């Protein structure tokens, strides 16, 4: 059984259909990349999975449970975290307060402290700046904070939306290393990226979205050598 | 000595404005809307105290507790019925609705309690404080008002800084979607904010009517507008702003009335507001507005 299963999902923005009936699945332990051009519906897909948007029809199954109609704020405590596009850290709160909000639904204080230590280990920069307001961090640091914040809920699957967007090449490298680490620590990853090359390099499998439809899918290594993908997304 | 008396009166009136302004500022901070019915919630709180003391003959403390409960529930109901369906509507639609709710509450009060003014019996039954050999007399309600205001502000600041619900409020005020991703129930948080603001409105109403003991369906209207002014003055969305703005406004109003002109006191208050907004459009504690990229 797939960990996350999307069946015939259709999403509308008013009269405009953004997602035209897509189906895909994510198995436990995988890194799945969702690639595609701007406006293909990648962000919409993630937002629908975590309840920020309501689908017109279709089903979302998480660990066998239908979560299509579960209110957005109840998703994270089920074990699914979402690092949103544009990072969306709480700029006027400190790094520490942001991380604490990541564990908002957890009641086990001692274990939360343990998770916090682990996040600080993975992101030493965040520890150095724990009392700084999140709004004063650089773009790359904010991305780390957004990822650390999501990890604070101890998710079994983490959805990441364009984590490398707008970052300098050094930070892009670092962010992808962190994604690799998150994956190797046992967390399943669903990654949305415009940087198809990088995404395919770390993914097991990938789906290619084009104007609301999945047009191609398969093993990431195979897709990387696909002529149409090379042309459209890898700039070769 | 008269100067000191006026000054103390100003701080006391300002404390009431501050307590009301907290309601405006918290609701604005979380729900990004101006709840113009807030002043009328005060009036309902006053009637609740009045009715339970004069008709039901309940003791003052119980009556105040009832008023707080009534206003808290009223605040939650107003939000659910009138504002929640408009969560995604234009700010103008919400503003007009809020004005509508304000008139609705006033007219319900008119219908139920009549237009004649009720004389409110002060709930603070402690003898006044006499200082400087009896030259400076401070009414007990003044002392209670100022102390309560400070306690409320301190409690709110602690609540927001130290509790999970408080941190959730800050998160919602900054980014509703991101807060929801953290597992924060955004609707629940907005409800809680209305509940706290309206409960405070009841407290402010009781203090207001204890100091100025005439109660009509329009009692809440003017203090409501002035407290809103105070919130803008201090920087809307900021708790410190509501506190400082409220106190300043109260002092300016009483001083203006005493030393310049009693007829012009309201005009002076609003003139000061206009001046402050010309120099600092975001108010004293307001943060400069960042353009989102």
Give the pLDDT mean for B226-236: 92
Measured distance CA(B116)–CA(B271) in Å, rounded: 32
pLDDT confidence of residue B168: 96
pLDDT confidence of residue B289: 55
Rounded to 5 degrees, φ, ψ at A89 are: -75, 160
Res B291 pLDDT > 60: no
**Could you tell me the pLDDT band of residue B285, with boundaries at 50, 70 and 90?**
confident
Measured distance CA(A31)–CA(A198) in Å, rounded: 12
pLDDT confidence of residue A84: 97
pLDDT tens, B102-123? 999 999 999 999 999 888 877 7
ipTM over 0.90: yes
pLDDT confidence of residue B212: 87
Measured distance CA(A180)–CA(B256) in Å, rounded: 67
**Could you tell me the pLDDT band of residue A236, with boundaries at 50, 70 and 90?**
low
> Is residue A180 a contact partner of residue A169, using CB atoms and an 8 Å limit?
no
Indicate the SS3 state at residue B175: coil
Percent share of chain B, pLDDT over 70 = 98
Contact A73 B180 (CB under 8 A): yes
Which DSSP category does B164 fall into?
A: H
Q: Does B175 touch chain A (CB under 8 A)?
A: yes
pLDDT confidence of residue B123: 77
pLDDT confidence of residue B139: 87
Give the pLDDT mean for B91-95: 93
Asked which of A79-83, B84-88, B189-193 is least confident by mean pLDDT, the reply is B84-88
Give the residue from A156, A20, A13, A8 showing the smallest Cα distance to A82. A156
Q: Which two tokens stand for residue B124?
A: 């603070």
Sign of CA dihedral B256, B261, B265, B269: negative
Q: Name the residue among A81, A82, A104 with its Cβ closest to that of B184.
A: A104
pLDDT confidence of residue A228: 84
pLDDT tens, B235-277? 988 999 999 999 999 999 999 999 998 888 889 888 888 888 8
pLDDT tens, A10-37? 999 888 999 999 999 999 999 999 999 8
Q: At what angle do helices B186-211 and B38-54 cross, to 10 degrees?
A: 60
pLDDT tens, A92-138? 999 999 999 999 999 999 999 999 999 999 999 999 999 999 999 99
Res A50 pLDDT > 70: yes
Res B182 pLDDT > 60: yes
Which DSSP category does B257 fall into?
A: I
Between residues B105 and B128, the one the model is more confident about: B105
Give the pLDDT mean for B214-230: 93
pLDDT confidence of residue B147: 95
Res B288 pLDDT > 80: no
Instruction: Decide the pairing of beta strands B214-215 and B118-119.
Output: antiparallel
Q: In DSSP terms, which residues pair with A193 in a beta bridge?
A: A35
DSSP for A63-80, written as a single string = TTEE-TTS-GGGTGGGTE
Q: Which two tokens stand for residue A103?
A: 């564990």
Q: Does A76 touch chain B (CB under 8 A)?
A: yes
pLDDT confidence of residue A90: 97
Q: Name the residue among A75, A93, A104 with its Cβ closest to that of B164.
A: A104
Q: What is the residue extent of each domain of chain B?
A: 12-219
Give the pLDDT mean for A82-99: 96
Q: Which two tokens stand for residue A44?
A: 């919409």
Q: Is B93 exposed, middle or buried (0-12, 13-18, 19+ CB in 10 A)?
A: exposed
Give the pLDDT mean for B80-105: 94
Measured distance CA(B60)–CA(B122) in Å, rounded: 9
Q: Name the residue among B171, B183, B186 with its Cβ closest to that of A90.
A: B171
Contact A73 B174 (CB under 8 A): no
Contact B183 A104 (CB under 8 A): yes
Which DSSP category does A77 fall into?
A: G
Give the pLDDT mean for B222-242: 92
Q: Name the residue among B171, B174, B177 with its Cβ closest to that of A52.
A: B177
pLDDT confidence of residue B292: 40
As a whole number, the mean pLDDT across chain B is 91
Measured distance CA(B37)–CA(B253) in Å, rounded: 23
Contact B181 A93 (CB under 8 A): no
> Is residue B221 a contact partner of residue B42, using CB atoms and an 8 Å limit?
no
Q: Among residues 12-41 of chain A, which lie with CB inside 8 Å of chain B?
A: none
Measured distance CA(A30)–CA(B109) in Å, rounded: 63
Contact B182 A102 (CB under 8 A): yes
């Amino acid at each position: 059984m797939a960990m996350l299963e999307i069946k015939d999902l259709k999403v509308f923005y008013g009269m405009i259909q953004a997602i035209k009936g897509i189906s895909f699945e994510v198995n436990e332990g995988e890194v799945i990349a969702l690639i595609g051009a701007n406006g293909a519906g990648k962000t919409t897909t993630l937002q629908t999975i975590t309840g920020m948007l309501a689908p017109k029809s279709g089903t979302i199954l998480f660990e066998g449970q239908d979560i299509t109609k579960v209110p957005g704020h109840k998703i994270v405590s089920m074990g699914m975290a979402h690092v949103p596009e544009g990072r969306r850290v709480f700029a006027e709160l400190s790094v520490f307060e942001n991380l604490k909000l990541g564990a908002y639904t957890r009641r086990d204080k001692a274990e939360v402290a343990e998770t916090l230590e682990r996040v600080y280990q993975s992101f030493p920069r965040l520890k150095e700046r724990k009392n700084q307001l999140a709004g004063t961090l650089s773009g790359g640091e904010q991305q780390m904070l957004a990822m650390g914040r999501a990890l604070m809920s101890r998710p079994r699957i983490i959805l990441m939306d364009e984590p490398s967007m707008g970052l300098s090449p050094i930070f892009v490298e670092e962010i992808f290393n962190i994604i690799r680490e998150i994956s190797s620590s046992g967390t399943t990853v669903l990654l949305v990226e415009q940087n198809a090359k990088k995404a395919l390099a770390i993914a097991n499998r990938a789906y290619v979205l084009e104007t609301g439809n999945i047009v191609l899918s398969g093993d990431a290594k195979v897709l990387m050598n696909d002529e149409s993908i090379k042309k459209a997304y890898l700039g070769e | 000595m008269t100067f000191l008396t006026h000054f103390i009166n100003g701080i006391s009136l300002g404390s009431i404005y501050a307590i009301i302004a907290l309601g405006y500022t918290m609701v604005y901070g979380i729900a990004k809307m101006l709840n113009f019915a807030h002043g009328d919630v005060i009036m309902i709180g006053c009637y609740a105290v009045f009715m339970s003391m004069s008709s039901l003959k309940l003791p003052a403390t119980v009556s105040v507790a009832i008023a707080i409960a009534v206003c808290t529930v009223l605040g939650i109901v107003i939000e659910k019925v009138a504002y929640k369906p408009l969560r995604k509507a234009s700010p103008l639609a919400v503003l007009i609705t809020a004005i509508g709710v304000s008139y609705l509450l006033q007219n319900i009060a008119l219908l139920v309690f009549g237009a004649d003014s009720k004389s409110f019996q002060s709930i603070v039954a402690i003898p006044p404080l006499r200082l400087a050999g009896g030259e400076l007399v401070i009414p007990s309600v003044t002392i209670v008002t100022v102390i309560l205001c400070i306690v409320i502000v301190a409690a709110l600041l602690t609540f927001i800084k130290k509790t999970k619900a408080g941190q959730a409020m800050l998160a919602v005020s900054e980014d509703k979607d991101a807060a929801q991703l953290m597992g924060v129930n955004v609707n629940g948080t907005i409800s809680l904010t209305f509940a706290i603001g309206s409960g405070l409105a009841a407290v402010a109403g009781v203090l207001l009517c204890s100091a100025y003991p005439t109660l009509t369906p329009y009692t809440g209207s003017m203090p409501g507008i002035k407290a809103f002014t105070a919130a803008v003055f201090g920087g809307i969305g900021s708790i410190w702003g509501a506190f400082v703005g409220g106190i300043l406004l109260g002092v300016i109003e009483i001083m203006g009335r005493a030393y310049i002109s009693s007829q012009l006191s309201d005009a002076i208050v609003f003139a000061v507001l206009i001046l402050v907004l010309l120099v600092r459009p975001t108010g004293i504690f307001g943060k400069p507005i960042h353009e989102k990229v």
